[in-house]
Structure 1
């Protein structure tokens, strides 16, 4: 497929609280775009405040996709995300619009943009069944410890309660002798689209202050009630509530820690996540970065980003 035949896609990435939402709306207006959420947790219904999901007012009439498509007790995989987003990209182009993927979940976005073949991921049903039985007998912590022994990197990135993903990582190692990250490295690095990949960054101290403030705002908006609603419904030991903002408050509802400590831990985990996001994007993807530290220069930054996108994709800006 030649460059001219590839569908054009704008991608906006960056750590939590850096200003992706406002920037994405501005860019969608300028390039007649529709926005696809690139966040692995905003797909869940009833999880609005803790995932910093965009509100209808904030959308300013710009169509948004892949929000609120799953119940919190439903699993969701990178492979499913890849399939859904690629379908949306084609749909948006068929309307004569430009798709704009916005988010911070690095692996998910990378899987869409590059030639990842999840159907070719090796499997062993017998071994998987054995691990599931051992998990039922010995518990999720034991399973996670087995993963730590063979694949410490994946073990660090996968929560012990995410049993399905722990087992998948063990299965990949069992079948290939490679860790999950090594297996993913072996995937093709050819871009599937004509992409303008834009990253937003910020002075770390200022970003961390913004993250702390965001958590305070979330609490004022009713995050505690949002999480309590899920807790009272019995939504436990599933993928969705391992998200930052939910697991910390679950510990509070379980009586493991006090509320003040839960909020402090939430802030700390959010800061650490932002750091991991930046590391991932810088190591794994060819991003053109824009520094958002100077808030007063926001309109100039938008102009610079727009100029880059217009040149990279040969698009005309509405400004």
Structure 2
């Protein structure tokens, strides 16, 4: 029999953290982070990492354990998350995987999600290298954003070598690591109960804007400045929305006010991409959290009851 695994997905600012904690308390669960950037220490405010108070004593895994200088791939996460899921289950607890990084979620769930490195295509690589020289790193990076924005979020535009290698993987028909392909829950290593949170677009965007303002009040600019002063401009960790925009301001490319505007805009765009990804990738039980402040308790209870009924 496959191991039960609850998965809570949805765009940024929709309420995943709060629901996951309530579910863990009710169903004797432990939470596994599925966000690409919350694995890093010192990236707290900008990644909306759950505080100790918000965790309410519930164990959280793969959260806040890597130095920002360290590299951490999807393959690394796949290995670590599967190991943690097994350990949580061995303790008789319910593993709850929570996150907004769709690629990471799929990598954990599906046994045929492999990370084969494609053979080198020197002609294609030369074309990409020439494109970068002729048009600039940002133009090359834009090609990656167009093909797979989820993956692009984790790579610095100036890391040309990695951008090119990723574009090669996306081009290779034998590489399943980064491309959407036909997968169903029967292909999962687990018995997954996938809960997706969504809400009316206008309310979601209002919550995102308000969250960014709150982050700034809580010290986002100072947090980003400390990372900038450590010389982390090229690190994968600080490609998270919030840091890269502020780094531009620190480099005098634009004002702090413009950086905050960009953070809000990019967060809204990312939320839209997250919903698109989840809608096209996996089977999800969607729950509308519109008017979340008013209906959260009632919706959370119904979701927990639904999950309890699905556990085998």
Give the shorter-chain TM-score range.
0.7 to 0.9
Distance 1:282 1:196 in 2: 15
| 8 A contact 2:32–2:95 mirrored in 1 | yes
Contact 2:115 2:175 (8 Å CA) reproduced = no
- Residue by residue over 1:210-260, the C-alpha shift from the partner in whole angstroms, topping out at 9 and shown as x without a partner, is 110100100011001100001111111121111100011001000001111
Q: Please give the per-residue CA displacement for 1:6-65, whole angstroms capped at 9, x wherever unaligned.
A: 111011111111111111110001110000001000011110000000111111110000
| Corresponding residue for residue 50 of structure 2 | 54
Partner of 1:31: 27
Q: 188, 201, 204: which one pairs with 1:204? A: 201
The 1:271/1:143 distance shift into structure 2, 3 A limit, reads closer
Q: Is the 8 A contact 1:12 1:102 kept in 2?
A: yes
**TM-score where L is the length of structure 2:** 0.88
Separation (CA, whole Å) in 2 of partners of 1:308 and 1:156: 29
Structure 2 regions of 5+ residues with no counterpart? none
Which residue of 2 is the match for residue 317 of structure 1? none
Q: Report if aligned partners of 2:5, 2:190 keep a CA contact under 8 Å in 1.
A: yes
Gaps of 5+ in 1: 315-319
Give the equivalent residue in structure 1 for 2:103. 107
Alignment of 1:154-165 (within 5 A): 154=148, 158=152, 160-163=157-160, 165=162
CA shift digits 1:45-98 (9 cap, x unpaired) = 110000000111111110000112221122221111111100000000111101
Against the structure 1 CA distance between its residues 90 and 139, is the aligned structure 2 distance closer, same or farther, given a 3 Å change threshold? farther
User: Where does residue 70 of structure 2 map in the other structure?
Assistant: 74
* Closer/same/farther in 2, CA of residues 156 and 313 from structure 1, 3 Å limit: closer
For 1:8, the equivalent position in structure 2 comes to 4
Q: Does 1:243 align with 2:237?
A: no
Q: TM-score scaled by structure 1?
A: 0.86
Q: Post-superposition shift, 1:146?
A: 8.7
Match of 1:218 in 2: 215
Which among 228, 236, 250 is matched to residue 253 of structure 1? 250
Please give the alpha-carbon distance, in whole angstroms, between the structure 2 residues aligned to 1:103 and 1:188.
19
- The aligned counterpart of 2:179 is 184
Tell me, yes or no, if structure 1 residue 306 matches structure 2 residue 304. Answer: yes
Runs of 4+ aligned residues of structure 1 deviating over 3 Å after TM superposition are 137-144, 154-157, 162-165, 178-183, 185-189
Q: 1:154 to 1:23 in 2, by over 3 A?
A: closer
Q: 1:146 to 1:290 in 2, by over 3 A?
A: closer
2:140 maps to 145
Report the 3-state secondary structure (helix = DSSP H, G, I; strand = E; otherwise coil) of the residue aligned with 2:272. helix
Q: Which moved more, 1:197-206 or 1:111-120?
A: 111-120
Aligned pair in 2 of structure 1 residues 162, 34: CA closer, same or farther (>3 Å)?
farther
Name the CA shift for 1:144/1:80 in 2 (closer, same or farther; >3 Å).
Answer: farther
Given that residues 118 and 174 in structure 2 are in contact (C-alpha distance below 8 angstroms), is that contact kept between their aligned partners in structure 1? no
